[in-house]
Structure 1
């Protein structure tokens, strides 16, 4: 596609938003008081002292909503903007990238997170994802890894920043899935799997909290970190009936919470590790990190906000949108108020599950909670995090990243709104993937090193060992068949494994021992211990599952759309550095 045709395909109407011209520079932080710097060995330039950033002085932002109960067409543009992320009075504003709705009076400003799209089951939505990103990245780009412009003559300065949007959790055809090689730019460059910028979502699945985010080959970690993510709430008749019958909180008492960690420069700009590990083989320049853990926790694009609530029940739609950080959430290790999980990634649990301990949520996962503040009028409660980095046996979480959100139960109780009564059952029966498995595949998670000596986690199979992105496809299920995938984790940490297209049933986990080939990583002499059932919060349709170290995690999957998709670790730094593979439904 030539530049003129591409720009015509991605043109916006209505004048609500303007595209940057080629050569435009990214936004810079506006002048302000600034923050005290601290030295950090992973940054070429100083970073802001996270302890100097005020906590719980800014109200939680609520993303705007695009309500599409009858389906329809929309244009969302990806563009630079400035945002008050740090708050606390006059000070630096942060340049970020976000999404905004384009078109006349319906246009909305560009924000991080993007507007929440609210859709309805069986009412298709078509979204034109317009790339208006600049010709310079906000963050350091590592060109030594496999990324969008590898093996091309393209540059960001000449062609712009590539992007493609994936609807995470969506039951979507391959041309609309946001494959990492379907990227495109404002300057007219496109990836080898590019099929267009207008994606169709059939919404032929049950009610769930999905999310949309950038999925560009080799840039996902940076583009998501810059702000390219948002919620997509899918409704169905069952969920709407539960809300209308006052069995679930709705309206202003349903809130989406996107939890992400960030680091900042003293002038308010986003900071990301930009020097490599010391290595004699390293040629110099920006380098991907093995993992990234920011010390500033943001919720809906605001650092450590507070949320004022009534002494009543609220429905909280939680998303871990962080690059690498797991969260183990509680109020200082316990729940002083009732917290009930009613669903996860792709739908409801069979029955509500009352939490009796901290809630663990990995990158990419969503959790649907009902939180009851009725007995805590006037209380101030802090949501805390004590998940080690990396999870589960890494370093203890360092303050101030142990704080997430403050609840203030100080709003007057609105007696005109009936108090919900949770149903005994949320679905007719426990979720099951029906059908006899056509085969069982044995997949592999393993550690490795790249040519520069950097950590490079890999995917593969038990029989072949480690496999790369360009190796032949080994997972080729037949359409409308069911398979069991057994994921053997030989690494030292938990990996959140995500499949595009498919929703699966978690069958359980078991410890294992094996002999590993020192060259390929292939396993032999495998001995599997007693099986452990899935956690109570996993008994629903899932698209992302935690695969703990030294365990085989078993899932049951039905593949019902032909095409090429990907499966990968949802730690974005792992995904970007070869922990992602194609699979094809044939």
Structure 2
């Protein structure tokens, strides 16, 4: 077992249980974590839902995540109660039990013997043109830019199939990385999107379900909870989860071009006749917390770029002993994130507190869209600028913000920020 630092992504927990990258346990050691599982600020509109955990070991996150060191962490409460037969009038009665299905999308490379590739340094033999001596070059699919697999996997199974009854299912989609971006849809013919309902994004239930009739972008660490109603199909129908987004071979992000959408990730086989289905798609779920700009103590700007072969934030590399921002407990701030690179997409994640996006490239976020809900990952494409509002509450201590293309994270695209006592911020 390698050294590790476990982070519960989307969790609201004290610093010592957050998985700070430089606080790791070596082989033979252990690290106790305490997850209080209460909503931030004790606000019922800040409840958590679809979380996940993964390794966060400084410089080795990508390696450990690629090896499968990740999984779902699902939170329930009186409203999202994991009981579609719940008699509580406030319960959402979402599909539950075997009809609530977590699905991790994960890139894996295989060699010519159909075995998982682990040694990326020694995986590409080459001969020096000057000396004639043999050696190894870097794998073109695992570079400083990112890591791209040659097979799609779901829950570590190559392009699986899954039998579904003719009723509603809650499918929890997670892009577990390490680096691939997706544009996904559920299709019957492999091309035309079927109508589905998005109820949660980045682990947070939306104010209202979003009727999705098109492809939707899923970047590393993004989560979508989607209700698919298979009752409208007949026995023997096959529905596909498809990807149409072309990815650069070096893992830097999307090319901007769309593939033939018959790029199938998973198949759902509809079986049997109609069945009883007590689950619902609720009209209303969790209200968006109100933004009060009078709470704002400070505004900050973070610029993401590529400098001298490494990824930087505000021109600096990650130093776990340097505090890049000291945020006063109990205050709110506005952060502006800007991608100055012209080739890389960056899914930016900040720990501990979620945020609400105010503007994307100078335009206000449209109510009722995916970006209207609470978020913990910003999709920052080349040249993009995103402004968000956040509150920092409940605990003191050290946390981080980083790119969730975990190869970029390991190549220093991360900062440390601390929550400090009032009057001591900078």
Distance 1:394 1:583 in 2: 33
Q: 1:209-244 CA distances to partner (integer Å, 9 max, x unpaired)?
A: 100111111111111111111110000111128732
2: CA distance between counterparts of 1:398 and 1:351? Answer: 32
Name the residue aligned to 1:585: 419
Q: What residue number does 1:158 align with?
A: none
Residues 372-420 of structure 1, C-alpha deviations (whole Å, 9 max, x = no match): 11111121122110122144435655999x22100111144433x42x3
The C-alpha deviation readout for 1:398-452, integer Å capped at 9, x for no partner, is 999x22100111144433x42x33221112x3333556211111110112223xx
Report how far residue 271 of structure 1 moved.
1.4
Name the residue aligned to 1:297.
152
C-alpha spacing 1:385/1:479, structure 2 compared with 1 (3 Å) = same
- 2:246 maps to which residue? 388
Alpha-carbon distance in 1 for matches of 2:280, 2:123: 54
User: Does residue 1:316 correspond to 2:149, yes or no?
Assistant: no
Q: Which residue of 2 aligns with 1:485?
A: 335
Query: After superposition, where does 1:75-474 map in structure 2 within 5 Å?
Result: 133=1, 161-187=2-28, 197-205=31-39, 206-240=47-81, 243=84, 244=86, 247-271=93-117, 273-274=120-121, 288-330=143-185, 331=187, 332-336=190-194, 338-377=195-234, 378-390=236-248, 391-394=253-256, 402-415=263-276, 417-418=277-278, 420-427=279-286, 429-434=287-292, 436-450=295-309, 456-460=310-314, 466-470=315-319, 472-474=322-324
Q: Which runs of 5+ in 2 are unaligned?
A: 40-46, 421-426
Cα shift at 1:260? 0.6
Q: Does 1:558 align with 2:391?
A: yes
Q: Is contact 1:315-1:370 (8 Å) kept?
A: yes
SS in 1 for 2:66: helix
Judged with a 3 Å threshold, the aligned counterparts in structure 2 of structure 1 residues 546 and 539 are, in CA distance, closer, same or farther, namely: same
Q: Kindly state the Cα deviation for residue 247 of structure 1 after the two structures are TM-superposed.
A: 3.7
| Cα distance between partner residues in 1 of 2:297 and 2:255 | 36
Structure 2 residue 371 is the aligned partner of structure 1 residue 538: yes
Q: Distance in 2 between matches of 1:357 and 1:543?
A: 23
CA separation in 1, counterparts of 2:136 and 2:154? 34
Q: Deviations over 1:50-72 (max 9, x none)?
A: xxxxxxxxxxxxxxxxxxxxxxx
Cα distance between partner residues in 2 of 1:412 and 1:301:
30
Change in 2 beyond 3 A, CA 1:304/1:317: same
The 8 Å contact of residues 82 and 97 in structure 2, kept in 1 or not, is answered as no
1:491 deviation in Å? Answer: 1.4
Shift of 1:473: 2.5
Cα RMSD over matched residues?
2.7
The number of residue pairs the alignment matches comes to: 385
Q: Which runs of 5+ in 1 are unaligned?
A: 1-132, 134-160, 189-195, 451-455, 461-465, 511-528
How far apart in 2 are the matches of 1:443 and 1:544?
A: 15
Cα distance in 2 for partners of 1:434, 1:173 equals: 25
| 1:442/1:487 contact within 8 Å kept | yes
TM-fit CA distance, 1:178: 0.7
More strand by share: 2
Check whether the contact 1:346–1:540 (CA below 8 A) recurs between aligned residues. Answer: no
Instruction: Give the deviation of 1:477 after TM superposition.
Output: 1.0
Q: Say yes or no: does 1:494 pair with 2:345.
A: yes
Question: What's the TM-score once normalised by structure 2's chain length?
Answer: 0.83
* Contact 1:433–1:504 (Cα < 8 Å) also in 2: no
- CA 1:555–1:393 in 2, change beyond 3 Å: closer, same or farther? same
Q: 1:357 to 1:487 in 2, by over 3 A?
A: same
Quick one: distance in 1 between partners of 2:417 and 2:136?
Answer: 34
Shift in Å, 1:302:
0.7
Q: Structure 1 CA distance, aligned partners of 2:243 and 2:68?
A: 22
Q: CA deviation at 1:314?
A: 0.7
SS at match of 1:467: coil
Larger gyration radius, structure 1 or structure 2: 1
Q: How far, CA to CA, are the matches of 1:176 and 1:289 in structure 2?
A: 29
Deviations for 1:351-377, whole angstroms, at most 9, x for unmatched residues? 110012101111011111111111111
- Give TM-score scaled by structure 1 length: 0.61
Q: Distance in 1 between matches of 2:266 and 2:400?
A: 34
Shift of 1:296: 0.6
